[in-house]
Structure 1
C-alpha cells in the first residue's frame, strides 16, 4: 500500500473542515482535506442555501464569538467576491425564554436589540402570529450555507490546500505526538497517509472515524435526522426576518410543540421552518432520508397556526443531520496529534469562521 505524508490532514469538507483548511492554508500550513462524498452532497449538515445568523444568545462568550464571526464572514465575502451574510434581522418570541433579560445581555454584547409588543410586531411583519413580547435583532441575518462552504474551500485551495473528494478515511492510528496515520480509500484504491496533525470535522461520522483511537475520548454525540420544510409565501414581496419561537409547557397554544421552532426565508425556495433537535436518532450510513410523518404533521400545524403569511399546505421538506452533545456545547479539543471539532448541535453554522480559526490554532505546533 502506497504512503503519503502531509503536515495537517482535515477529515471532512463540510463547513467546519472547510473553514479550518481556509485558516491553515492562509497561514502557510500544508493542508490536505479528505471528504468521503462528492462536492455539495446532502448527507450531512452543511448543505442548503440558508442558515440563521442568530445573535439571540445570553452567554458572553458566544456573543464575543459572534462579533468575530461577523468580521470574518465579511472578510470571506471580500476575498471570494460572493455575498454570504445578508442582514435580514431576526425575531425571537415565545414564553419559553426571558426575552427582556436576553435583550439586555445582547445589547451589552455589542448587538442591537429591541423589544416590541405583539401588535407592533405583527404590524411590521404580518406574515407572523407572535407570542409576545418579541425580541428583534436588526443586525442578525441569513447565511448562504452552500456558497459559504464553496468560498472557504476555494480560498483554501487558492492558498495551497489540496482537497480530495470521494476519499474515505478509516483506520486512524496515533503513533506519537506528531505522528498520526490513517487509510484513505478513493477511486485509485487505498493508501496510507502519515500526518503531523489530523483535524476531525467529520460531523455525524465523528464517532465512527475516531472510535478506538488511542488517547482520544469523545463525549456522547447524538446523531439525529432533522426535517425542516419550505412553505410557499402568500405574498412573494413580503419582508421575512429570520425567526425563533420558544414554547412554554404551561401554555396550551405551544405546549404541543415538538421542540422550539426556527426559520427564515430562503430566496427562491420559500419560508423555511423547522423543529430544533426533535428528529429521531439515526446511523448516518443507514438514513432513510424519509421525514417522520408525525413531525411533518406537527410542522404543518405550526405553519397553519403561527405563520399566516404562508400556505401551510404547500411545502417541500428537506432532511439533514444534527450531531449534538448533551449540553449543546461544542467539542473543540486536541489530544496528541488529533484535533476534534464536533457536536455543533444545530446552532454552530453561524460561528463557522471562528470555529475554523480555533481548530486551526489547536492544530498548530
Structure 2
C-alpha cells in the first residue's frame, strides 16, 4: 500500500509539532509522523520545565528571542493553557559576554539589568552569588508537557494529520520528492511526499544516513536532577552559572543551568557533557561521577536545596560542533536539527522558519545553514 502526501513532518517533538502547527496555520496539507506516543520520555521534548533564558548577544538569536516571546503569548491565548511562568532568569559567574547580552537585549526591547551579588542574594536567597548578576525579567520557565499537546491540538484543528506510533524505517530522496517506508503498529506502509520536514532529534543522523551531508551531530544522554527544596520561603528564578578559576571549580564539567519545577524541586544540570549514546540503546541512568559533582555544586551554590535529596532526570541533547542549529532546505528535505540543549525556547520560531523553508517563503538565517563551515566554540 502506498500513501501519497504533500508535506510530511518526521518527528513529533517540539520542533516537528511547531512545524506542523505553522504549516497548517498557512493552510498547507501536512501529516506528522511520530514513532512514539504523545508525552513519551525518549527524546528531548518532555518534562515540566525548560528555561527561557534570554542570555544571547548574537543578533539572529536575539531577534528570534523577541519573536519567541510574542509567539509563546499567542500560543497561550490560542491554546488556553499556561505555557510560560515568567519568573525571570539570572545569569552569573565569569561569563565575559554579559555586558554584550545586556546591550543586545535592551536594543531588542527585552529587559536586562545588572545587580550586585549582595542584592541578588537578598532577592533570591536559595542561590549563592559571588559576582554581579544579569537579571532578565522577561525570561522564565516553559512547560514542554503542556506545550506539545497545545501545538498538536492547534495543528489538528487547522487541518494537520497527527499520527503517533508510526516509525520511519527508511527514507529515500527521489526525483519528485521523498519515499518513506514506515511501520504503523506492525504494518509496513510506503509513503511518498512532495517534501519532508525532518525534525527527528537524536534520530536525525540515523534516519538520513548518507541521503544528505550534514554537520556532525553528537547525541548525548544528559542527567540533570531535581533537588528537594530546603528553604520553602526562597524565590527561584531560572539561573545559569559560568565557573571561575580556583580549586572550588576544579570538578565542574561545564556551566550549570537550573530552575524550579513546581512539585518536583529545583532542577540543575551540567550542559552537554553527558555520555555519547545511541538513542535506541540508552541506559537512562546517571553517570555516577557527574552526578556526585552536581551534588557538590548544589551544596556550595544552592543553599536553598537539600543536596542529598534528589531525583535524577534523563534526556538527550543533539549537538552541533558550534552549538548553532541546523535549519535548511536540501532538495525535498527541510531539516531542523542540532538544537544543542538550548533550542526549546525558540520552538514556535523554529516552526515558523521550517514552514518558511517548506513553502518557499524565505531562507533561515545564514548562521543555521547546513553547508556553513562550523568551528567549535
Q: Answer yes or no: is the 8 Å Cα contact 2:20–2:160 preserved in 1.
A: yes
Instruction: State the match for 2:150 in structure 1.
Output: 151
> Aligned to 1:61, what secondary structure does the other structure show?
helix
Partners of 1:270 and 1:83 in 2: CA distance = 19
1:195-234 matches, within 5 Å, as: 195-213=193-211, 216-234=212-230
Offset at residue 188 of structure 1 (A)? 5.1
Aligned match for 1:284, one of 275, 279, 286:
279
Instruction: State the match for 1:263 in structure 2.
Output: 258
Instruction: State the match for 1:184 in structure 2.
Output: 182
**Cα RMSD between the aligned structures?**
1.1
1:89-100 matches, within 5 Å, as: 89-100=88-99
Instruction: State the match for 2:292 in structure 1.
Output: 297
Partners of 1:112 and 1:251 in 2: CA distance = 32
Q: Answer yes or no: is the 8 Å Cα contact 2:57–2:97 preserved in 1.
A: no
Deviations 1:177-226 (A, max 9, x none): x421111101150010010110000000000110122xx21110000000
Partners of 1:183 and 1:310 in 2: CA distance = 49
1:309-328 matches, within 5 Å, as: 309-328=304-323
Deviations 1:71-123 (A, max 9, x none): 11111111110000111010110113342333222222321111111111101
Change (3 A) 1:223 1:188: closer
Instruction: State the match for 2:4 in structure 1.
Output: 5
Greater displacement, 324-333 / 160-169: 160-169
1:60-71 matches, within 5 Å, as: 60-71=59-70
Partners of 1:99 and 1:31 in 2: CA distance = 41
Greater displacement, 104-113 / 341-350: 104-113
Are 1:358 and 2:357 counterparts? no
- For normalisation by structure 1, the TM-score amounts to 0.96
> Any unmatched runs of 5+ in structure 2?
361-377
Partners of 1:83 and 1:194 in 2: CA distance = 37
> Aligned to 2:106, what secondary structure does the other structure show?
helix
Offset at residue 306 of structure 1 (A)? 0.2
Instruction: State the match for 1:102 in structure 2.
Output: 101
Partners of 1:110 and 1:60 in 2: CA distance = 13
Instruction: State the match for 2:15 in structure 1.
Output: 16
Q: Answer yes or no: is the 8 Å Cα contact 1:97–1:246 preserved in 2.
A: no
Partners of 2:313 and 2:329 in 1: CA distance = 34
- For normalisation by structure 2, the TM-score amounts to 0.93
Q: Answer yes or no: is the 8 Å Cα contact 1:95–1:131 preserved in 2.
A: no
> Aligned to 1:253, what secondary structure does the other structure show?
helix
Offset at residue 49 of structure 1 (A)? 0.4
Partners of 1:26 and 1:154 in 2: CA distance = 12
> Aligned to 1:363, what secondary structure does the other structure show?
helix
Count matched residues. Answer: 360
